[in-house]
Structure 1
């Protein structure tokens, strides 16, 4: 017999709640019914998932393997139900979006007109902040975060990833020449971030490793400021493709040391609290912006 979704939910609830009685209250069943469901599930799978005694429960190795995949399946089912609901309801209300200024300007603002035409009943509020914010404190529904995510209670959805490239303007290169090797960067004016220091580790392979730590001659806290400085010919910069792809296409910036690039791509995630009332607005925005980002994400 095949495993059913309600059996997966009972199994996950028992583990999350820590006891059969607590899980029974959560799923609205009696403890005996929950216990029978667990036994039936183990019988179908032909293995023991939980070692149960009168005092404690411990997952077996098979149980740990099954738990991870059961949670993923249930999350996919929730996501499918939310997507199907979009076909029967009209998303509406205020949607507050927060992102770093460069991402907002280059990856969201260009598509806002199309989004508003598609979802005219959604009222957008666009806020920028280069620091990680508290979503509840800032009354934010969804925040876009670039780079690796720290552990968090927030729900995260990957929107793709964006290559990092070393760039300079034709004007700068005409005056100073282009570096032919990674080590040549030491002879150039380098534009870097004042914080965090990790952003000054450029994704370039060299004899000692695959990242090149720079000592910036000019620092800024915002990627957009560094972009403007690079466009003005003030030095060489390393920025994400989502904010420079138009400059590269138009010839305003040129990619340098492409053969030494280690291929690192910055992950892009949307983070938000799961909330049924907001799910439709969040879901339609994330689907929309993910499709747009695919043009210049990996």
Structure 2
């Protein structure tokens, strides 16, 4: 192939960073030098990879294909380097993790100092997104997903599971009383999700079934927003233990209707594209975070 690995890295950097100037800053080059290198690469390949205007850049069809293949080639090169480094037990390289904001804040960030101390040659890049993302498009190595996985071409590894609890603050309970039966919830302010109705199906047994579909008095798109509303005494919420365990231990939130809880636990998976042996940096992270998440299964 005519293109060299440094040209592949430059092209991928431009696309991932979104501009020639941002890629130049990352690579320690001038924008004009990056622009010339792109032009040389397109000349070598005898094709236009990027349609450039003064305001934006758009990949051509050939450019999109070349980007995907370049990423795969660079990943293979990095994996080869990692396998060599593995002989000395020094995993290295950039590791891009994506997770919903509540999971990132409560289940990953608290453990980052320990992980970095154990693996100083791994450069973490932590991104939050509450929506399902395209791993390749978002340049992500591993995405953490909560709940039942939809059918997918991605590979998945179970990291454990986390119970769902019905929760309210002491201040709310002091004002409105403590529900003792599932039916009592009809008289309370309930905090629910605005976009995903399945998350408003609470794991509560009652006379008519094993779960309870609520009609929220106040709704939000983010679990972290619902948690904050519950802490502020705005109502009763159903949230996963991974994001509320510390609140419960401190007494800031209290578990309600425990005897009616059907015991459902939210599955937690890591998903990735690898279809062969995992890169060492990914394997180290998955092993590490799975051990940390074990407490949420209780």
Shared topology, TM-score over 0.5?
Answer: yes
Deviations 1:57-107 (A, max 9, x none): xxxxxxxxxxxxxxxxxxxxxxxxx99x95743110100000000000000
Q: Counterpart of 2:296 in 1: which secondary structure?
A: coil
Paired residues for 1:5-84 under 5 Å: none
CA distance in 2, matches of 1:201, 1:138: 31
Q: Once the two structures are superposed, what CA deviation does each residue of 1:36-59 show, in whole Å capped at 9, x if it has no partner?
A: xxxxxxxxxxxxxxxxxxxxxxxx
Shift of 1:206: 0.3
In structure 1, the residue matched to 2:79 is none
Matched with 2:218 is 218
What is the CA–CA distance in structure 2 between the aligned matches of 1:294 and 1:142, rounded to whole Å?
19
Q: Deviations over 1:170-218 (max 9, x none)?
A: 0000000010100000000000000110000000000000000100000
Could you say if the C-alpha distance between residues 177 and 144 of structure 1 is closer, same or farther in structure 2, counting changes exceeding 3 Å?
Answer: same
Gaps of 5+ in 1: 1-81
What do the CA deviations read for 1:4-36 (whole angstroms, capped 9, x no partner)?
A: xxxxxxxxxxxxxxxxxxxxxxxxxxxxxxxxx
Partner of 2:172: 172
Deviation of the 1:128 alpha carbon: 0.2
Q: Which residue of 2 aligns with 1:105?
A: 105
Give the equivalent residue in structure 2 for 1:133.
Answer: 133
- Is 1:287 the counterpart of 2:265 in the alignment? no
Q: Determine whether 1:197 maps to 2:208.
A: no
Provide the C-alpha distance between the structure 2 equivalents of 1:244 and 1:281, rounded to a whole number of angstroms: 29
| Separation in 2, partners of 1:264, 1:277 | 32
Aligned to 1:236: 236
Normalised to the residue count of structure 2, the TM-score between the two structures is: 0.70
Call closer, same or farther: CA 1:116–1:276 in 2, change over 3 Å: farther
Following superposition, the deviation at residue 108 of structure 1 comes to 0.1
Ranges in structure 2 where 5+ consecutive residues have no aligned partner: 1-81
- Paired residue for 1:14? none
Offset, 1:292: 0.4
CA RMSD of the aligned region, Å? 1.7
Judged with a 3 Å threshold, the aligned counterparts in structure 2 of structure 1 residues 257 and 293 are, in CA distance, closer, same or farther, namely same
Bigger Rg, structure 1 or 2: 1
Q: 1:216 to 1:148 in 2, by over 3 A?
A: same
Give the number of aligned pairs.
216
- 1:123 and 2:103 are equivalent in the alignment: no
Secondary structure of 1:124 counterpart:
strand
Tell me the distance in 2 between the aligned counterparts of 1:154 and 1:139: 14
Aligned residue for 1:145? 145
Whole-Å Cα distance in 2 between the matches of residues 265 and 95 of structure 1? 28
In the alignment, what sits opposite 1:274? Answer: 274
Cα distance in structure 2, aligned partners of 1:281 and 1:210: 42
TM superposition shift of 1:277:
8.6
SS in structure 2 opposite 1:120?
Answer: coil
Q: CA deviation at 1:296?
A: 1.8
CA distance in 1, matches of 2:198, 2:97: 26
The SS at the match of 2:204 is coil
- Alignment partners' CA distance in 1, 2:276 and 2:257: 48
* Distance in 2 between residues matched to 1:204 and 1:232, nearest whole Å: 24
Instruction: Please give the alpha-carbon distance, in whole angstroms, between the structure 1 residues aligned to 2:256 and 2:89.
Output: 49
How far apart, in 1, do the equivalents of 2:213 and 2:274 lie? 39
Residue 89 of structure 2 aligns to a residue whose secondary structure is: coil
Q: TM-score, normalised by structure 1?
A: 0.70
Aligned to 1:163: 163
* 1:186 counterpart = 2:178: no
